[in-house]
Structure 1
Amino acid sequence: MSCLTTPGLDMMRPFGQTTRVGVVSFLNARPLVAGLESLANWSITSAPPSALIDLLAADEVDLALCSSVDLLTAPFEVAWLASTPLACRGATRTVRLFSHQPIDTLRTIHCDTDSHTSVALLRILLAEFWNVEVELVDLHDPRPIEAKLLIGDKVVGEELTPEAWPVQVDLGEAWLSHTSLPFVFAVWMGRSDRAECLERAGRVIDRQLRLNRHRLQEIIAREASMLGWSRSDASDYLTDHIRYHFGAAELDGLILFLEKCREHGCAPDRPVPPPRDL
């Protein structure tokens, strides 16, 4: 048994049935899932955030840490958990806009599409925070790059100096400035007809996070460099920027974000079911 595994948790799944978990392939997810791969009858699949809802739709996983906007866009009836999200209250460090020029002069922004939520958040901030109309294009669009949105570990792994990109905006920080609320980037989702599996797995993940908080430096020492982080930056990121708590303020921030997604055409106008209890 792994030293990062909670004793006894592998007995929570009926014999012979595998709990299939989809998780983002970034450092910020490691405190949630490190050690779960050693549980009997558990499998972990890592993928970009934007791909996880497709894994759920294809029945390749039972639950996944999906982009929060997928609560509105999923092609099936969703169940979700208001616990152990990927959230921030202010700067997140890994969802950033980089520009060669002032934002109000931009015509296009090349967007990293690894996260549905981050692109929707950028669209909302452009309309409401900066009051500008900018065309959002794929990161690989051949037009000259005036500005680009990047997410995830690649933000710390590239040469993104202030000299090269004099205008830099952290979208989590911009959201807090605009709304005074935290931002929820991803939540655990599953299909509504398998909500009990989602709840069971959510309890295991919640316990694993509490265990991993005490072993965070061990996780960082083992995994940070493989993902392009220095140990000091990874420690700062996971302790001071990324939040795994889901309280009343996080719920308010999520509800407001989803309302604005509907308002700005980022998602269809459909209801979101209440979260499941652990």
Structure 2
Amino acid sequence: MKIGCIEYLNALPFTLPFQLGEIPTTHQFIFAGPTEISSLFQKNILEAGLTSVTTSFEKGYYTTPSLGIAADKEILSVNLYTRAPKESLTGKTIGLTSQSSTSISLLQVLAYFFWKQEPLFTALDRTVPLSAYDAFLLIGDEALQHPSFPEYETIDLATEWHSLTGHPFVFATWIFHSPNPSFEEELETALTWSEENLPTVVEEAHRRSHLSRELLFHYYSLCRYRLGEEEKLGLQKFKKYYDQIHALCA
């Protein structure tokens, strides 16, 4: 079975046990950014994948309701960097990473419904300096490695969502074309192994990223991999706003 997985450090607790051989598997794992994983899944190249939660909103896909990647009050790896206050973004140009539809949709929800702003969203052109933008969105390991930029305020979108709604935010989920209880059990086993061997996960994340072990321990403490009622309520609330935005754009 071909399994897609986002290539960021926050996905390691699901995949590292397989990669280390702690959990024997015949599955082939394909690692890429969330947008690419979603595309491969939609083309039926992948039978399952951990990817942007907005992909799960499409009809006909099965999800694991209890497993994913969420954040409560902060996440550190989904950041808007802005020169202007968030209440003064109307007319400002915001460069958007192409890596994740969920993070882009979250930013749009916050801007339109909570900050009451109408910025100009555009794809981030990495051939020009980031300073060419009034604001820009970065996610994943790149955001972790750049907590701040001179002359820009950093806004953690998970923090902003929680402060405005009181709910955690679900960024990613496991999706399938059809139910696969045996692989779900493997995922549960993998996550339990990582929870019991977190120093090993941190060490591998440090090797890959060169980020400090202290930061990585803190980062993994912020990531919620087991989704409970609070996360599901947050996801339901986000989907309502998501649907409204897409209805306006239709």
TM-score computed with the length of structure 2 as normaliser: 0.90
Given that 2:111 and 2:117 are in contact with CA atoms closer than 8 Å, whether structure 1 keeps it comes out as yes
Provide Cα deviations, 1:32-87, integer angstroms capped at 9, x if missing partner.
11121332312211110111111112222211012111123x4x621111122100
Partner of 1:99: 82
Gaps of 5+ in 1: 1-18, 270-278
Does 2:240 align with 1:245?
A: no
Q: Quote the residue 2:62 is aligned against.
A: 79
The answer for the alignment partner of 1:152 in structure 2 is: 140
Residue pair 2:148, 2:154 contacting (<8 A) in 1 also: no
Structure 2 CA distance, aligned partners of 1:51 and 1:266? 24
User: Which residue of structure 1 lines up, in the alignment, with residue 71 of structure 2?
Assistant: 88
SS at match of 1:60: coil
CA contact (8 A) 1:110 1:148 kept: yes
| SS class of match (2:225) | coil
1:137 Cα deviation after fit: 0.7
Q: Distance in 2 between matches of 1:41 and 1:217?
A: 26
Contact between 1:83 and 1:206, CA under 8 Å: does it hold in 2?
A: no
Provide the residue aligned with 1:34 in structure 2. Answer: 16
**Deviation of residue 268 (structure 1)?**
9.0
Does 1:135 find its partner at 2:120? yes
- In 2, Cα distance between equivalents of 1:26 and 1:62: 20
Say which of 104, 109, 133 aligns to 2:94.
109
> Is 1:154–1:228's contact at 8 Å kept on the other side of the alignment?
no
Q: Which has the larger radius of gyration?
A: 1
Residue in 2 that maps onto 1:66: 51
Q: Is contact 1:184–1:250 with CA below 8 Å preserved after alignment?
A: yes
Provide closer, same or farther for how the CA distance between residues 125 and 247 of structure 1 changes in structure 2, counting only shifts above 3 A: same
Q: CA deviation at 1:260?
A: 0.7
Contact 1:91 1:172 in 2 (8 A): yes
In structure 2, C-alpha distance between the alignment counterparts of 1:225 and 1:130, rounded to whole Å: 39
Q: Which residue of 1 aligns with 2:200?
A: 218
CA RMSD of aligned residues (A): 2.1
Evaluate the alpha carbon distance shift between residue 123 and residue 266 of structure 1 in structure 2; reply closer, same or farther with a 3 A threshold: farther
**Correspondent of 2:185 among 200, 203, 209:** 203
How many angstroms apart in 2 are the aligned matches of 1:200 and 1:266?
37
Instruction: Kindly provide the amino acid, as one letter, of the partner of residue 261 in structure 1.
Output: Y
1:120 and 1:266 in contact (8 A); partners too: no
Would you say the 8 A contact 1:36–1:42 is kept in 2?
A: no
* Deviation digits for residues 136-179 of structure 1 (CA, Å, limit 9, x no counterpart): 11111769311111100001323734x431x2211001111111
Q: Which residue of 1 aligns with 2:216?
A: 234
Q: CA deviation at 1:181?
A: 0.7
Q: What is the match of residue 187 of structure 1?
A: 173
Q: Indicate the structure with greater helix content.
A: 2
Matches of 1:246 and 1:127 in 2, distance apart? 27
Taking structure 1 as the reference length, the TM-score comes to 0.81
Pick which of 252-261 and 31-40 moved more: 31-40
Aligned pair partner of 1:121 in 90, 106, 109:
106
Q: Which consecutive segments of 4 or more residues in structure 1 shift more than 3 A?
A: 266-269
Partner residue, 2:154: 168
Partner SS, residue 35 of structure 1: helix
Structure 2 letter corresponding to 1:41: T
Match of 1:160, SS state, is coil
> Structure 2: 5+ residue runs without aligned partners?
none
Question: CA shift at 1:103, angstroms?
Answer: 2.4
Deviations 1:64-113 (A, max 9, x none): 012111123x4x62111112210001111000110122223331110112
Residue 57 of structure 1 corresponds to 42
Matches of 2:79 and 2:35, distance apart in 1 = 17
